[in-house]
């Protein structure tokens, strides 16, 4: 029991004195009240005397310690000097014990209500919440509100609360000329064909359309909650082999003056139109052509690995394709703007399977990072697995560097793998390996020249 550090006569002694030794006009009275609720226990000088509100009379003049106790509230202490012939008043405020709750919402800027009472600040915020059961309501315009039941049992520990709000659906209208094109949202085919009106969740999405005999069109777009968007494409005739992307020929910036010595010099290079696989070759693709290939159960859509350069080259030939040249691979990865990464000039966490954490690195299913796609729509051009390309490891024209590794001794792997850091995931980075090398972080994708793969004949 807590007491004030003063010498105070007990209440019983004080009352005895009142009855036996002090005339009535030499005593005082005390009215004790509590806020915001009544009914708190009153303890005076360590003795229980009743519940608030209450007035104690016939008190011998002295300093009295007053304590209020009530379940669900912190004990409140006070003291008062009683004087003869006076009525004293003591009002104590009961406080509920609270824990501090740090609330973060995605997106930020959401309003918060605690048990129906609005909180002035917007998220992120730090909110004192009393011990007990409560309901938090977190809401934001154009997002569905979230109701969260919260149990506060310990006031000594802060709590963290992260809430993701679901935005109102976006109405997307897609038209193509000609019509009847297949709609894809984040590389997932939808049942209906263009023209089509479709509702999708807000956020970053890849909207694309495909029609046989025409080139694929796509765009990466951020869709705001509750908005309406229209997309219209005039499709260009042309055959694109299934699973491949057309890269129109032209000039682009290859190499880097800020990278490794073998990446210099940065220069313009001209490339003819070619096709390149959208994804790295998977275990399933490889096994369909080479049935003796085995892989762990459930990894059909993982990149094929432990494949040396000769294996990759032989597979490409077997399916009527070839390995991409270094220039083709780099153009497909960085586009015409000399991007350092497939998505832009700065590294962004979460857009590639590169080794940036302490978690044990490993390959992932191809296309797992759809927003890390290159300007032409190729996926995993940074990270996941390194990719064999066609040429020997040699110095670029205009590079004065001399190296024993140059020549017809090593082949080149591009793009970085799950074991590589972001520096090695740059579009201009080169890794030389013996063509005999087999490693769980090296795979490949195929390319083809225009006219190398012909459309199937109509029956």
Closest to 9 measured CA to CA, from 85, 69, 60: 60
pLDDT at 454: 82
Q: Cβ of 343: how many Cβ atoms within 10 Å?
A: 21
Q: Could you read off the pLDDT of 307-322 as tens digits, one per residue?
A: 999 999 999 999 999 9
Q: Is residue 4 part of a domain?
A: no
Q: In what order do the strands lie in the sheet with 411-414?
A: 431-433, 411-414, 386-392, 442-444
- Pair type for strands 386-392 and 166-167: unpaired
* 107 upstream amide cis, omega within 30 of 0: yes
Q: Is the pLDDT of residue 277 over 60?
A: yes
Domain final residue pick, 41, 68, 93: 93
323 assigned to some structural domain: yes
Q: State the average pLDDT over residues 233-241.
A: 91
CATH of the domain at 17: 2.60.40.1120
H helix and E strand count, the chain = 4, 32
Average pLDDT value over all residues in the chain: 91
Q: Does residue 86 lie within any of the structural domains?
A: yes
Residues 200 and 276 in one domain: no
Q: Is the confidence at residue 61, as pLDDT, over 50?
A: yes
Average pLDDT rounded to a whole number, residues 340-351: 95
User: Tens digit of pLDDT for each residue in 113-136?
Assistant: 999 999 999 999 999 998 889 999
Mean pLDDT for the stretch of residues 402-407: 93
Under 8 Å between Cβ of 373 and 343:
yes
* Domain count for the chain: 4
- CA torsion through residues 14, 17, 18, 23, sign: negative
Question: Do 159 and 176 belong to one domain?
Answer: no
Domain finish residue from 150, 167, 184: 167
Pair 206, 287 in one domain: no
327 and 341 assigned to the same domain:
yes
Does residue 372 lie within any of the structural domains? Answer: yes
In a domain, 454, yes or no: no
Q: Considering the domain boundaries, does residue 456 fall inside one?
A: no
Q: For 141, what's the count of Cα atoms within 13 Å in the CB-facing half-sphere?
A: 3
**What is the rounded average pLDDT of the residues 164-186?**
95
Residue 63 has pLDDT above 90, yes or no: yes
Q: Which domain holds residue 81?
A: 11-93
SS3 136: strand
Domain match, 153 and 27 both: no
Q: Are residues 215 and 356 in the same domain?
A: no
Q: What is the 3-state secondary structure (H, E, C) of 203-224?
A: EEEEEEEECCCECCEEEEEEEC
List pLDDT tens digits, range 41-53: 999 999 999 999 9
Q: What is the pLDDT of residue 5?
A: 41
Out of 93, 114, 143, pick the residue that ends a domain: 93
On whether residue 131 sits in a domain, the answer given is yes
pLDDT reading at 56 higher than 60: yes
Which neighbouring-strand residues pair with 80? 64
pLDDT above 80 for 456: no
Q: To the nearest whole percent, how much of the chain has pLDDT over 70?
A: 93
Rounded CA separation 209/334 (Å): 22
184 and 273 co-located in one domain: no
Residues 365 and 427 in one domain: yes
Query: Does one domain contain both 65 and 107?
Result: no
Q: In terms of pTM, does the model score above 0.75?
A: no
* pLDDT single digits (tens) 184-229: 998 889 988 999 999 999 988 889 999 988 988 988 888 999 999 9
Whole-number pLDDT of residue 255: 97
The DSSP code for 348 is -
| Predicted local confidence at residue 19, as pLDDT | 37
Q: What is the DSSP letter of 371?
A: G
Claim to verify: residue 424 and residue 437 sit in the same structural domain = yes
23 — pLDDT class (breaks 50, 70, 90)? low
70 with 102, same domain? no
- Do 313 and 423 share a structural domain? yes
Is residue 163, in this structure, part of any structural domain at all? yes
- Could you tell me the two tokens for 19? 């009855």
What is the pLDDT at residue 17? 43
pLDDT higher than 80, residue 7: no
Segment (H or E) for 125: strand 125-130
The CATH number for 276's domain is: 3.90.1580.10
CA distance 136 to 118: 10
Q: How confident is the model at residue 458 (pLDDT cuts 50, 70, 90)?
A: low
Of 157 and 366, which is predicted with more confidence?
366
């Amino acid at each position: 029991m807590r007491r004030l550090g003063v010498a105070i006569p007990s209440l019983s002694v004080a009352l005895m004195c009142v009855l036996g030794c002090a005339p009535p006009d030499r005593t005082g009275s005390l009215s004790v009240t509590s806020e915001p609720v009544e009914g708190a226990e009153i303890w005076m000088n360590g003795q229980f005397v009743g519940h608030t509100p209450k007035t104690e009379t016939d008190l011998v003049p002295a300093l009295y310690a007053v304590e209020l106790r009530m379940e669900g509230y912190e004990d409140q202490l006070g003291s008062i000097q009683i004087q003869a012939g006076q009525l004293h008043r003591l009002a104590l405020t009961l406080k509920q014990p609270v824990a501090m709750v740090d609330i973060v919402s995605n997106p930020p800027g959401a309003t918060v209500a605690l048990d129906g009472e609005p909180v002035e600040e917007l998220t992120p915020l730090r909110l004192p919440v009393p011990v007990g059961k409560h309901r938090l309501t977190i809401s934001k315009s154009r997002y569905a509100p979230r109701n969260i039941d919260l149990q506060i049992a310990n006031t000594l520990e802060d709590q963290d609360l992260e809430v993701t709000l679901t935005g109102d659906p976006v109405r997307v209208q897609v038209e193509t000329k000609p019509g009847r094109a297949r709609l894809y949202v984040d590389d997932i085919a939808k049942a209906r064909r263009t023209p089509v009106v479709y509702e999708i969740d807000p956020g970053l999405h890849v909207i694309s359309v495909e029609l046989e005999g025409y080139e694929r069109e796509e765009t990466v777009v951020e869709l705001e909650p509750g908005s309406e968007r229209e997309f219209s494409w005039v499709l260009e005739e042309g055959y694109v082999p299934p699973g491949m992307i057309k890269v129109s020929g032209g000039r682009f910036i290859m190499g880097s003056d800020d990278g490794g010595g073998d990446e210099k010099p940065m220069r313009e290079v001209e490339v003819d139109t070619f096709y390149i696989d959208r994804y790295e070759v998977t275990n399933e693709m490889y096994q369909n052509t080479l049935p003796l290939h085995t892989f762990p159960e459930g990894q059909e859509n993982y990149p094929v690995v432990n494949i040396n350069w000769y294996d990759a080259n032989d597979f490409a030939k077997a399916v009527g394709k070839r390995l991409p040249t270094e220039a083709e691979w780099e153009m497909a990865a960085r586009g015409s703007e000399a991007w350092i990464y497939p998505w832009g000039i700065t590294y962004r966490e979460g857009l590639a399977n590169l080794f940036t954490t302490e978690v044990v690195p490993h390959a992932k299913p191809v296309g797992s990072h759809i927003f890390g796609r290159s300007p032409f729509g190729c996926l995993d051009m940074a990270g996941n697995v390194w990719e064999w390309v066609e040429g020997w490891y040699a110095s670029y024209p205009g590079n004065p560097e001399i190296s024993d590794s140059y020549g017809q001794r090593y082949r080149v792997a591009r793009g970085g793998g799950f074991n590589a850091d972001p520096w090695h995931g740059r579009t201009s980075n080169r890794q030389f390996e013996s063509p005999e090398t087999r490693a769980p972080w090296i795979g490949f994708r195929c390319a083809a020249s225009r006219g190398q793969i012909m459309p199937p004949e109509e029956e």
